[in-house]
Every structure is written in C-alpha cells, then in structure tokens.
Amino acid sequence: MNMFHNTGIESYLSDESGIVGSASWIAFPQSKADLCKLLHIVREAGEPLTIQGARTGLRGQAVPQGGYIINLTKMCAIEAFRFDSATSSASVKLQAGVTLEQLDDWLRIKAPTEFADDESKMHWERYCSWDGTLYFVPNPSEKTATLGGLIAEDAVGSYVLCGGDLAQNILDKDVILSENVIVSLTLALHPRPAQRYGLMSYHKDCAEAEAFVETMRGYAFGMESTQVLAAEWFDSVCREILADTQNTHLLPDAVSLWTEFAADSEDRLLTLLAHALELLEQADIVFADRALVVAEGRDFNFLQNIRHTLTERLNEKDYGALPLLLDCAVLPNVSAKAVSTIKEHLEGAEIPYALMGRAATGHITVRLLPNEAHHAAANQIIERLADELSY
C-alpha cells in the first residue's frame, strides 16, 4: 500500500523559521520497514524529498521544496533499556521520532519497557524503586524536538559544559545512508544530580561574565562532588524582547548570567553558592545586590528556561521580515572578543537584534530582526560576521 497522501499537507509546509514551502505528498512511517518502502517510492519518482522531525528547526531545514515529505514523528517507540554492568552505565534504544519530552516523561514516570537482556531488566526494576531519575544530559531546550532532528542539526544544549555534548551521548545509531535518514538511536543515560541551585547575576560585559564562570568552575573543581552544570548569558539587548511582559526586571541593563550548580549534598552546594556571592561582592559587579539564588522548583524552572522563552518570543513576533540567525562556535578564550566584534558590526546599523551565549563553551547566538527595508543590509552583516568570526 502506498502510504503517501496529501490530506492536511498544508500544516507540514513550514517550520519554526516561518518560511513556507510546497510539497505534493506526505507520509508518516511507523517502522524502518515502512520508511524503506517510502524511500523506494521517492527514488523511483525522482522528485525532491524532505525528511521532517517535529519541525521546530529555526532555519527552515524541514521546509519542503516540492515533491515528497516523510515525517518521522510517528516513529516514536522506546525500544529497549540496557544496563551494562562492566561499565555501570545505562542506555536506551529508541526510534528517531521520539521527542525529548517523551524521553523525559518515560524516565520520570518509569513507564514499562522492553529490555536488552535479563540483567538490564533487573537494573530497571531497581531503578523503579529508586528515588532519583536518569536523564539524557544534553538539554537543547525545545522539548518537542525529535531526537533524530536534534542529531541531524547537531543541536547544542545548556549542559554542554558538563558532559552534555550531543555526539558524546549517542552510543549508536542506525542510519539509511543513501538518504542520510536516522532511523533509531542508542542514548547514554546518567543519574540526574541530587541537588541543583541556580544563580542569576549581572555583569558589565560578556568578558566579566565569562571570567566569573571560569572562577566558579575552578572553585567547584577544587571541591568534592560539586559542578557548574550550565552558564548562559544574555546581552542587555535581550531585555527589549521581553519589553511587553512582566519580566523585564529579570534582564536589567547589563549582561545577565544564569549559572546552575549541582552537588551531591545541600551543604556542599551552599558552600559553593557562598563563594559565588562573595565573588560578586568583592569584584564590585553591577547589580550585585540583585543577584537571585533559587533552589529547584518553579522559579528555578522559569529562570532555567529564559533562553528558551526568548527564542520562543523571537519566533512569535512579526518584525516585518524573516529574522536571520547566526550560531557561532568559537574557542572559549576568544568568546568575549567575538562578542565585541558582533556588537561593533551591529552598532549604528538600526537593526534590532538578540545576542546570547553559553559561557565557557564559545557558543554564541545572534538573531537579527530586520524589517523588509533592512533585510539586505542584515544579510550582509551576517555574511561578514560569519567570515570574521572564523578564527
């Protein structure tokens, strides 16, 4: 049976970039066998093919340019849990259409599953009676994205600082090489840290925020079982994005820095936080008295999600033309210099922009928000930046 159809295809012609494409046929395979049959039909037809996950991409990569769409969101089975006693490590095999949200839910509610072998089954039963949870460490914030889409996009999450590099957490993958379609994946799972605290602090510039994070990582390294999990900064221009909300006070006129700390005990965590607050005071850091310390809970989740909220708001607003996105990965020690270069190019350009990054990793994201009249100029700036930042 041919699984391609065109009912409701209009809903699948765009993604989060806002770009709209076209296609004649769409199908939703549920298994590798379905997928192989569909790929065969497309090959025979010799027409363009677009593979889609959850269409949350920001750069139009899932937007079809005619022909066929194969959407993988119905390939969403969690196939087997494995525990390897030799390395004391847990992993899960799943289809590529599973979303981060589905994976998190499965691990949180400890839903029934299949097992790689009897030993894995025994460890799963222990897991079910354990207080804690396992998690997939990389934390690209868009929970509705599929694992296949995240890997195809080489997504970067906030926990890249603490072993959350996506590639390092993929233990195996099944790929149909002729079309480069990821069919299934085996992901490493780790125990979620027992205790986490977050700190929102404010700095005069990116260099100061980066230095603060490095010092805190040094402190954490010198203490037992403590860690800086994540450190995300937001340039003061980001406050404009929240201008019509109740939350502008969270991003004052400074570089805002969200740092997450973890430890195996609350005492250790509080010692680390005391160091952080002392450092803020001693260094005469801007708005030191406004720094916010939050334990896990609603406020923690809200602040941890600031980058995601900003990205969502940028997607929702109509600026009169499509925003332009540049994701850069520079060496961490030239991050502050790269930020200065970006700001020099944008000052006086009369194009609103958002600028944020992940401290100590060299990841910087710039979004230009031109209206139609400034679109060509914005494109030129992005091209120049892409050239200049490739040191």
Ligand X SMILES: Cc1cc2nc3c(=O)[nH]c(=O)nc-3n(C[C@H](O)[C@H](O)[C@H](O)COP(=O)(O)OP(=O)(O)OC[C@H]3O[C@@H](n4cnc5c(N)ncnc54)[C@H](O)[C@@H]3O)c2cc1C
Choice between 10 and 266, CB closer to ligand X: 10
Residue 89 has φ and ψ, to the nearest 5°, of -125, 145
Other beta carbons within 10 Å of 7: 6
Residue type at 20 in one-letter notation: V
In the complex, the residues that contact ligand X under the rule CB under 6 A are 15-16, 51-58, 61-62, 72, 96, 140-142, 145-146, 148-150, 152-153, 155-157, 180-182, 308, 311-312, 315
**Least distance between ligand X and beta carbon 283 (Å):** 29
Choice between 228 and 273, CB closer to ligand X: 228
Choice between 61 and 247, CB closer to ligand X: 61
Distance CA(52)–CA(64), nearest Å, equals 9
**Least distance between ligand X and beta carbon 99 (Å):** 7
CA dist list (Å): 145 to 140, 150, 169:
9, 7, 17
**Least distance between ligand X and beta carbon 140 (Å):** 4
Choice between 51 and 209, CB closer to ligand X: 51
Distance CA(157)–CA(169), nearest Å, equals 12
Choice between 76 and 295, CB closer to ligand X: 76
**Least distance between ligand X and beta carbon 167 (Å):** 12
Contact 24, 67 (CB under 8 A): yes
CA proximity to 63, closest of 18, 13, 100, 25? 13
CA proximity to 250, closest of 319, 313, 305, 318? 305
**Least distance between ligand X and beta carbon 90 (Å):** 23
3-state secondary structure of 34: helix
Choice between 30 and 315, CB closer to ligand X: 315
User: Percentages helix, strand, coil for the chain, rounded to the nearest 5?
Assistant: 40, 25, 35
CA proximity to 233, closest of 257, 214, 267, 249? 257
Match 């525990």 to its residue by tokens: 83
Choice between 37 and 121, CB closer to ligand X: 37
CA atoms within 13 A on the CB side of 241: 27
**Least distance between ligand X and beta carbon 166 (Å):** 8
Choice between 141 and 169, CB closer to ligand X: 141
Distance CA(239)–CA(247), nearest Å, equals 9
**Least distance between ligand X and beta carbon 57 (Å):** 3
Residue 365 has φ and ψ, to the nearest 5°, of -120, 130
Which tokens sit at 230?
Answer: 């994540």
**Least distance between ligand X and beta carbon 220 (Å):** 23
